[in-house]
Structure 1
Amino acid sequence: MAHLLLLLFCLIMYRTYGRAHAFPDHNSYWEQTLTQPYFDNSSRREITTTINQTAQLHCRVRNLGDRAVSWIRKRDLHILTVGILTYTNDQRFQALHPDGSDEWTLTIRKAQFRDSGIYECQVSTEPKISQAFRLNVVVSKAKILGNPELFIKSGSDINLTCIVLQTPTPPSFIYWFKGNQVINYSQRGGISVVTEKQTRTSRLLISRALPSDSGNYTCAPSSSDAASITVHVLNGEKPAAMQHGNENLAVETLTKFNKLLFILITLIFAVVR
C-alpha cells in the first residue's frame, strides 16, 4: 500500500512538473502572437486631393502597446514623423493622434504636386511592419462645354453647361460671372442657374438673349480653376469671324482655279506646237 501511494505521488509530481516545464515558451509565444500590433485595413489606401488643399492619410494600428508609429516618404526614405513629433523642416507635415485612439494621421497642408507619391506607416516591431498609402495631388478645373466662342441670334437662349473635372469632393459652390461681376438675377428676368453638386455640374440659362447680353462668361467653382466663354448675341448679321472665314475660303478657291487654268493653257500650247 505504501509503495502504491509513493508511486501515485511520483506520478502526480511528474505530470505537474511536465506541464509546467515541458513547453516553457508555449504560452508566452501565443500571448505575444495575439498581442502583436497589426493594421486595420479599413482605411483608404489611395487618396486624391487638389493642389493647395489639406491631405490626410489615416493609418489605424491595433494592439500598438509600447511601440511607435512613424510616417516615411517612400521616394527618399525620409522620416517625416515619429509618434506625434515632426522630423522634417517642412512644417506642412504633421502627425495627429487623438488620445486613446488607434488612428495615426499624417496631415499635409497646402499639398503640392511634389507631394504626390507613396507614404508608409511603420510600426517599430521586430521586424518592422508597414502599410503603404498613395497620395495623388491634382489640379481641379472647370470646363464649359462647347467652343470657346458662342454666336447666337438675338431672341435665342443662352444655354451654358459647366462641369468640374478632377475634384475628389463636390464643390461647395459654383459661381457664374459676366465680366468681373457675379451674375445678378435681379438685373433682368429670364436668368436661371441650376447647380448639381454631386455631379459637379452647373447650367446657366438666359432666355431671349439681347445684344447687351454679349460678353465674357466665367464658371468659377470653389477650389478649382475657372473656365470662360465669349458669347456674341447678333441682330441677324453674320459674325465677323464667319465672314473672314468665307472670304479666306473664296480666295483659296480662286487661287486653286487660277493654278489649274494656267496648267491647262500650258498643255494646250504644248499640243499646238
Structure 2
Amino acid sequence: MTWRIQICHQLTPKVAPSSDNFSKKYSQILTDLGLQSTCIYKEYVNIHRTREFMKSTFMYTEHVNLQSTCSSPLPTRLPSFVGTISNMTVTAGRDSSLSCSVRDIGDYKVTWMHLNRVMLLTIDQTTITLIPRFRVTRDDPTTWTLHIRNVEPDDTGYYVCQVNMEPVINQVGYLQVVVPPEFVDEETSPSHVSVQESHDVRLVCRAKGVPEPTIRWTREDRLPITTARGSKVYKVDSEELVLKGVTRKDMGAYYCIATNKVPPSISKRIVLEVQFQPLISVPTQLVGAPVGTSVTLECKVAAFPNAVHFWRFNDQLLINSSRQETQEIQKGYTTTMRLTLSSIKPRDFGTYVCAAKNSLGETESNVRLYVVPPEQHVDSSLVDTWDRPNEYRSDLDAGSPSYTLEDYNVRGGGPPSPLGGAGPSLGTSGRTGYGGHPSSGTVSISRTGVWYTWCLAAACLGSSTLHITSLCTDLALPLLLLLLGRWEASSRPSPAPALT
C-alpha cells in the first residue's frame, strides 16, 4: 500500500527547505501515522519554483512517496508525451492554439512557457501571465491546449510544454505570426510628384510586413519605363525608381506594388507630372474658303501645367459670337484649339493667331485664311462634245446655242491645229462646210489657244499667293476676252459681193 503526501510551504525567497529538515519533518509525520521511520522510501524531492506576478514570494512544493514495507519500492509509471506539438503559421489579428498531450500525468503539472519572452504562461489549468489574450484548457485527461486570441507579431517564437518531474521533460512548438505588407507613409513618395522637363526624379516606396515585402514598379498605361541606364523595361523590382532627364513621355501614373505572399498585396499610385512650356503645332497653316461659306481653323497645344488658350485676329482677342465659335478638346497634356467661322465675309480673310500661356512661358502660331473663288459651272453639252471629238453634228450651225468650239474646229476644214485637229474656216455664208476654203476675212481659232486659256485659269484658281493672283488677273482675263472677241468676229457672215 502506497501513500502520497503533498505539503505546500509558502516561504520568503531567502528561505528554502534543507534535506535534513525534510527528513525530520516527514519522519515525524510517519511516526504519527504509526509507521516506522526506517521504512521511509524517498523516491524524489522536487522543488518547483513559480514566480507569481504581483507578489514577492515563492511557492515550494515537496513530494514524498511512502510505502508500507521496506523490502523493495513499487515500480512507478512516469509521465510521457503523446505525439508532438504542431508548428503553426497564422496571420496577425487572428486566433491560434497549440496542443500538448501527456499520458500518466498523475499529480504532476503541465506548464506552458514562451521561450522568446522568457515568460511563464500557465500551470495546469491556471493562467499565470497577466496578458488576457492567453488562456489554457484541458480538453481531455491527456491534452492541454494553449489558446492565443488576436495574435500579434510579438507572439512569434517557441512555446514550451513542460512536465514538472525530475528531470523535467518538455516539448517545443513554433508559432509564426505573418503580417501583410503595409506602406510606411513617412518614407514613401506622395501621390503626385512634379518635376521640370530634363531634370532627374526619384520615386520611393517603402513597405513593412512579415516576411519582408518586395516592391515592383509598373506604368499604368503599360508603356515601358526608361531606367537610369537608358534601358526600356516594363517592370522594376526596387524600392526606389530613378528616372534621369525626364521628358513629357515619362509623364503618367506609376504603380508600386508591395507583396510578401501574405494576402492581400497592396499598391500605391504615384502620378509623375513633367512641367514644360507650351508647344504649338498647326496641322494646316494655309486654309482657303469661298466667301459666304464656313471654315474651321485648328491648332494643337502641348503644355503642363495646363495653359490658357486664346485666338487673335488683327490684334483683337476673339470671343464666341454668332459668326465665330471657339472650342477646346483636351486629352492628357495636349489640347486641340478650334476656331469655326460662319458666313465668311471679305474682311474675315487674313492671318489668325493661336496662342497658349502657362507659368513656364508663352507660345503662339499663325493660320492664314485666304479667299477661294466659287466653283464655275461648265455646260454639260460642251464637256460632252470635247470628250467625243470624232462625233460630228451636221445639223448645227454657228448660230445655234448648242454649237461648240470643237464642232467648229473639226468641221471647218481649215488648216490643222498644233494638236492635230483641222482648223475652222468660214465660207461666204458664214456656215462651216467640208472642203471649204477660208475667205480673206476668215479668222481661225485653234484648240491650243482655248486649252492655254483653261490651263491658266485653273492655275489661277489654285493659286495661294498674292503675286500669282495678280499675274492671273493681268494675263488670263485679257487673253480670254481676246479669244472670245475673235470667236465673235469669225462667226459673223461675210458681206455679199457688190453687184456690177
Tell me which interval the TM-score lies in, with the shorter structure as reference length.
0.3 to 0.5
TM-score by length of 1: 0.44
TM-score by length of 2: 0.27
Flag the structure with higher helix content: 1
Q: Which has the larger radius of gyration?
A: 2
Q: Which has the higher contact order (CA 8 A, sep 6+)?
A: 1
